[in-house]
Amino acid sequence: MSKNDVAILGAGMHQWGKWGRNFAEYGVVAIKDAIKDAGVDWKDVDFIVGGDTMRNGYPGYVAGATFAKAMGWTGIPIASCYAACATGAQAIDIARTRILAGMAEVVVVVGADTTPKGFLAPNKGERTLDPDWLRFRLLGATNPTYFGLWAQRRMDLYGATEQDFARVKVKNSKHGIANPKARYNKLFTEEEVLASPLVSAPLRLFEICATSDGGAALVITSMDYAKKKGIANPVKISGVSTISPTFPQTVIDMPDFTTDSAAGISAPDRSFRDSIAYAAYEEAGLGPEDMDLAEVYDLSSALELDWYENIGLCKPGEAEQLLRNGDTEIGGRIPVNPSGGLGCFGEAVPAQAIAQVCELTWQLRGQAGERQVDGAKAGITANQGLFGHGSSVLCTR
């Protein structure tokens, strides 16, 4: 047991989809499911952390208050945070810190989003000092533009093929078809994936995640509170990583146009993405060999292969073989994205990292139904937010 362990007593989600309603509705459904799962009442919650959304007006910028009001004001402290795709991990870390400081016992962490049709884009307005705005204005570089660059890099460096990228989509569709919270419950074939329209070479439509509406919530408590509730062996958060990059970054990252030069200062031993999960492993005192499953941010099917290596499941260049061997399928050595991943959910930005931890919670409890990973006792999440936000949560039981 890590000295920084906190307990997850409740997990809840609103199904992902394209519902077009107020994002707060999704969050409230998720919160109610999570507190019911935890066996607590709303009045028992003494702190709430909301993950902000940038596409839903002012209430989205102050999500902690928005959700607290929607549930019914109780006078408790609140916090709101934003870290792009890493928002959920930031919210979890804020909750955990508050608990470990002895300033809270029962914390709700929640994120929800309502997204526009099509690719995510910057908010309207002229912002010439904003790199995210500039990459759209000067280059027309949507998120899939970067996904395509990373996929091509993988092909050039390691010999990945279009068939490999399609296999990732097929694998995740097999997992997601058994997930009632996923948006897409459809089984794909390689032929269907490879016949879908080319979007950002070499990636095709079915290999790039959609934008979605959805919400996810957790009830996180102190270990002492869990014992008082008679829960002797809860799922625990044993490590959280919210690290930032180390200069120089020699691999291009969204939304940057260029990399840093390593001419004067050597590149760090670990790249940013390699460092994200490593920090969570270090805190928990565990390693990749101890993991039974992983939930990673498959913004594209190709990017999932990169994450295999980033979280230490294999050496650089070996991800394709891991996939081809069936090691990352349910029933394989280390199932990845048993939830179905973003390929089956689409992306609801502030909810997604929380949803990853919901999946770990259900898996470690043995409550994942047809997608259950047998004997799962430890799992890790990984993703990354724009502008240098690392995101990884390691759970144990």
State the CATH class of domain 131-208+237-396: alpha beta
What are the pLDDT digits (tens) for 45-77?
999 999 999 989 999 999 999 999 999 999 999
Packing angle of the helix pair 349-365, 87-100 (nearest 10 deg): 60
Contact between 217 and 27 under an 8 Å Cβ cutoff? The reply is: yes
What is the C-alpha to C-alpha distance for residues 182 and 38, in angstroms, rounded to an integer?
22
What is the C-alpha to C-alpha distance for residues 35 and 50, in angstroms, rounded to an integer?
15
Strands of the sheet containing 213-221, edge to edge, are 78-81, 47-51, 106-113, 213-221, 6-17, 235-241, 389-396, 378-385, 293-296
What are the pLDDT digits (tens) for 238-287?
999 999 999 999 988 888 888 999 999 999 999 999 999 999 999 999 99
3-state secondary structure of 214: strand
Q: Where are the beta strands (DSSP E) in the chain?
A: 6-17, 47-51, 78-81, 106-113, 198-200, 203-204, 213-221, 235-241, 293-296, 378-385, 389-396
What is the pTM assigned to this prediction? 0.97
| In the chain, % of residues over pLDDT 90 | 92
Exposed, middle or buried, 388 (CB in 10 Å: 0-12/13-18/19+)?
Answer: middle
Exposed, middle or buried, 25 (CB in 10 Å: 0-12/13-18/19+)?
Answer: middle
Contact between 177 and 187 under an 8 Å Cβ cutoff? The reply is: yes
The confidence score (pLDDT) of residue 118 equals 83
- Give the sign of the dihedral formed by CA 325, CA 326, CA 331, CA 332: positive
In the chain, CATH 3.40.47.10 sits at 6-118+214-235, 131-208+237-396
What are the pLDDT digits (tens) for 179-234?
999 999 999 999 999 999 999 999 999 999 999 999 999 999 999 999 999 999 99
Picking from 150, 241, 240, the residue whose alpha carbon sits closest to that of residue 202 is 150
CATH code at 6-118+214-235: 3.40.47.10
The confidence score (pLDDT) of residue 1 equals 67
What is the C-alpha to C-alpha distance for residues 34 and 18, in angstroms, rounded to an integer?
22
